[in-house]
Amino acid sequence: MRKSIWQSLPIIGLGCTALLLSIAGCSRAPQVPPKAIEITADDKMKFSVNVFDVAPGQQVTVTLKNIGTSPKASMGHDFVVLKKNVNMNAFLEAGAMDAAHEYVAPSMEKDIIARTKLLGPGESDTVTFTAPFVPGDYDFICSFPGHATQGMKGIMTVKQ
């Protein structure tokens, strides 16, 4: 007995789904354990970690601790991971006068992968995010005015 095209659609649909998953790389990939990173920031405008590697799609937890003693109003620190190819200088310039939004312009939120809140002395904050699936280097910075230009920045590298 011959099947009509309508009877074959579920089978065709399953085949297409499997094909799309394999093309998109969504087939069963080995599980990568989550990564936890602790970073300190101080009154010398330095992060304790300037470089770290992650796997594509890996769960990443970053805890930032401000170990400095200067007041938040003059020496606050945060951790902001920018999307690939975002112009760091344009991002910083847009937020430089925006203390109300912790020096991140609302128009630039779309350029962020993850961020902590702005921290005063003795404070800490944790952010958990999924690493991008596209390999490459992603900038991370402190958005407080002048800090990234003085060296408070680093690179998160996504690699297989």
Tokens representing residue 121 in the block? 């002395």
Tokens representing residue 61 in the block? 């937890």
The verdict on residue 48 lying in a domain is yes
CA contacts within 13 A on the Cβ side of 85: 2
Q: What is the DSSP string of 98-158?
A: -GGGTT--GGGGGGEEEEPPPB-TT-EEEEEEEPPSS-EEEEEE--STTTGGGT-EEEEEE
Helix (H) or strand (E) holding 37: strand 35-41
Q: In the chain, how many domains are there?
A: 1
The verdict on residue 147 lying in a domain is yes
The verdict on residue 16 lying in a domain is no
* Residue-number span of the structural domain to which 121 is assigned: 35-158
Cα 89 from Cα 85, distance rounded (Å): 12
CB 64 within 8 A of CB 118: no
pLDDT along the chain (160 residues), means of 10: 51 44 48 95 96 98 98 97 97 97 97 98 98 98 97 96
CATH of the domain at 87: 2.60.40.420
The verdict on residue 19 lying in a domain is no
Instruction: Indicate the pTM of the whole model.
Output: 0.81
